[in-house]
Amino acid sequence: MMVWTDPELERAILTAHNRGIHVEVLLADMRDAVALNLQRAGIAISTNPHLNFMHNKFMIVDDTTLVNGSANWSRSSFSRNDESFLIINHLDSEQTTYLDEYWTDLLTR
């Protein structure tokens, strides 16, 4: 995620984490307050300075669902901008393998 300032999404992730859900987050940097709040809560936050202008905005849920869209997770993206999202349920093993490899690449590039 390049920009994450939306407090509702922050609360949803913190709530999931507090219920014992394993959460990992990859951000461009730690400049947003959300990043620091998630890190303080014990959520695994990774940054990769080699990802200039990272425009990925996706979430993988339980290795079965992909949520991908154009919006940064910011207040304006969800209240003023015209954005799009695609949700793919029931990922097959080939899709899951690709996403796992892509995630690893983003972390290590």
Active site residues: 55, 57, 62
- Classify the C-alpha dihedral 107-36-87-85 as positive or negative: negative
Whole-Å CA distances, 35 to 13, 31, 61, 99: 11, 7, 19, 23
d(CA 70, CA 68): 7
Q: Exposed, middle or buried: residue 20 (CB in 10 Å: 0-12, 13-18, 19+)?
A: exposed
